[in-house]
Amino acid sequence: MKATVLAHPNIALVKYWGKRDDALILPHQSSLSLTLSPLSVTTTVEFGVPTDAVELNGHVAKGSERERVLRLLESVRAQAGDKSLGPAKVVSRGDFPMAAGLASSAAGFAALAVAGRAAAGLPRDTKAESILARLGSGSACRSVQGGFCEWQRGERPDGDDSFAVQRFDAAHWPELRMVVAILDRGEKDVKSRDGMRQAVETSPYYAAWVKDAEAEVPRAREHIARRDLQALGELCERNAWRMHSTSLAAEPPLCYLNAATVGLIHQLREHRKKGVPVWFTLDAGPNPVLLTDAANEVAAEALARACGALDVIRCVPGGDATLKTEHLF
């Protein structure tokens, strides 16, 4: 009745940006990400306690945050076909700054989905876990497994074919590095959920974004298969620019970049001219993530710091969400 799971966040190399179904969190296009180590979230779930209780990073969860967790556990009960599992207690802790814009929710909901099913006595099943994680937060479906995961958009209205599959595990490209440059620790103004809805509803470029992103996924897969850093880096930047261009064209416009973000991007191009292999990607916030290799991660960190990074987190390809024997309560 009790299980604990550790999961890593992921960073999209081809982004997910826009839902075709808000309730089931079904995307308009497929996406592809890299799971990041050493960052992690650990979550313990126990069924059969007196009342539902949700604690996230030392705080009692309230409102929509609490609702999202409890709704996911309701789906676990349905999968287990056992309404008698009773109320649940959830305690979750992350080891990285939640305001870093690193989609802590991805690792959190992946850990919750895997722990929830295990606590309900269900066997490990990455498809079922990914679908469950998706119901908490879209990008979470890509954190159930390590390495490079592809979230296939699917076609079915019930979402049963919309889940992530691992294309390559973490050992496929151990020299790859992702360097997170924290330029701003503040909460973002517009959450991904609201930003993507605004882009879907008002950006005249939205249809083009969907078509292009879908076509980039198999190309990214090929670059990863060949461990071609330059081709992947170029694709990654192109895809981030296109997501942000689509959003800038929304009404009202969505601008996630701040002055420091733009400054860093210009400096990064200068570095590239001098032969340093470094590219960037950017989620719905001002903190870029630099893509490079082990031989150049120190240079990438120095670049981020010279451009005003308050903190820099160096990451390597991470592994699967895993069950732990030690519980949080």
Residue 108 touching ligand PMV (CB under 6 A) = no
The single residue among 29, 126, 192, 261 that binds ligand PMV, judged by CB under 6 A, is 192
Report, in Å, the least distance between residue 105 CB and ligand PMV: 5
Q: Which residues neighbour 16 within 8 Å (Cβ) at sequence distance 6 or greater?
A: 27, 29, 31, 138, 139, 151
Residue 222 structure tokens: 């090929």
Angle, CA of 156, 161 and 167, to the nearest 5°? 145
Report, in Å, the least distance between residue 68 CB and ligand PMV: 11
Region of 8-16, 54-62, 200-208, 300-308 interacting with ligand PMV (CB under 6 A): 8-16
Residue 12 touching ligand PMV (CB under 6 A) = yes
Q: Which is nearer to ligand PMV, 17 or 280 (CB)?
A: 17
Which parts of 23-52 interact with ligand PMV (CB under 6 A)?
31
Residue 130 structure tokens: 């990914």
Beta bridge partners of 312: 181
CB 129 within 8 A of CB 113: yes
Residue 201 structure tokens: 């509803």
Q: What is the rounded CA–CA span in Å between residue 65 and residue 81?
A: 25
What 3-state DSSP class applies to 317?
strand
Q: Which is nearer to ligand PMV, 16 or 206 (CB)?
A: 16
Report, in Å, the least distance between residue 284 CB and ligand PMV: 4
The single residue among 29, 35, 137, 162 that binds ligand PMV, judged by CB under 6 A, is 137
Q: What is the rounded CA–CA span in Å between residue 180 and residue 271?
A: 17
Residue 16 touching ligand PMV (CB under 6 A) = yes
Residues that bind ligand PMV (CB under 6 A): 12, 15-17, 31, 103, 105, 137-139, 192-193, 283-284
